[in-house]
Amino acid sequence: MKWFVFNDSRIEGPYSTESLLRRIDAQEVPREGLIWGPLQTGWKSIEWWKQSLPHLKAVHSEISRDDQWFYARNGRRVGPMTRGELITQLGSSYEDKESVAKMLVWTKGFKKWTPITELHDLMNDLGIDQRKHPRARAHGKVILTFQDQTFISTMKTISEGGLGIEPLPMIYAGEEVQISIESKDFDSTITAKAEVRYVNSHNMGLQFKALNSENKANIVTYIKSKMEAQTQKSAA
């Protein structure tokens, strides 16, 4: 389970349960700080969160066992199934990976049926490397501004078309946000407007809506360097 902390007009996270408990014990989270996470209807005090934690974890465990995914093939919907079952079924049932990559999938948190090609983590798990924009894993802090609030998340992947980050609370598919990417992988801070394409328990996918040529070149150069390093590693 992932948790977010609202402190001094900023939202920080996500933190694991264990990490957040350690931060609270070390007084790294002020007593007036608020916490939000799965199953909560709003931001809650630290005291409420600690008292409710056993119940929240128990309910989340039940829901996690009901991870429902669907995919569409030839106009027919298949599912529900867990994400693991989806990967197993698509990976073993269809030898033509190009056809698999074009399939549409849906799970809770998606605004609409989404091509597998737009889901980087799913593409990796299926062993498919067919994308409109090549992606690479990247690390850094992503600051999102939405409705006069500031959210902080962790970057997971990036391409010239968009990026994948840790999911954030209260931001849903279809929303437009302003983002700033701070990472040692790039020469300077990357700023852009983006649209949230999908949100699930594992990832939030953002598509760039306005990215200047300098930032795009910065991203493309980084991805090429990662791909070249991977090629050299494979050839060694």
Task: Examine the pLDDT at 187 and tell me if it is beyond 90.
Answer: no
In 3-state terms the chain splits into helix, strand, coil percentages (rounded to 5) of 35, 35, 35
pLDDT for 114: 84
Per DSSP, the three-state class of 122 is: helix
Chain-centroid distance of CA 126 in Å reads: 18
The verdict on pTM exceeding 0.75 is no
Query: Any alpha helices (H) in the chain, and if so which ranges?
Result: 17-25, 46-64, 83-93, 97-101, 120-126, 213-235
Handedness of CA 80, 85, 91, 97 (dihedral sign): positive
At 68, the pLDDT band (50, 70, 90 cuts) reads confident
171, pLDDT greater than 60: yes
**CA pair distance 32, 29, nearest whole angstrom:** 8
49 vs 94: which has the higher pLDDT: 49
Query: How confident is the model over 4-22, as a mean pLDDT?
Result: 86
Q: Give residue 132's pLDDT.
A: 55
pLDDT bucket at 167, cuts 50 / 70 / 90: confident
The C-alpha angle 188, 9, 28, rounded to 5 degrees, equals: 85
- At 181 the pLDDT is 95
pLDDT digits (tens, 9 = 90+) for 136-166: 889 999 999 988 888 888 999 898 889 999 8
Amino acid symbol at 86: L
CATH fold of the domain at 136-235? Thrombin, subunit H (2.40.10)
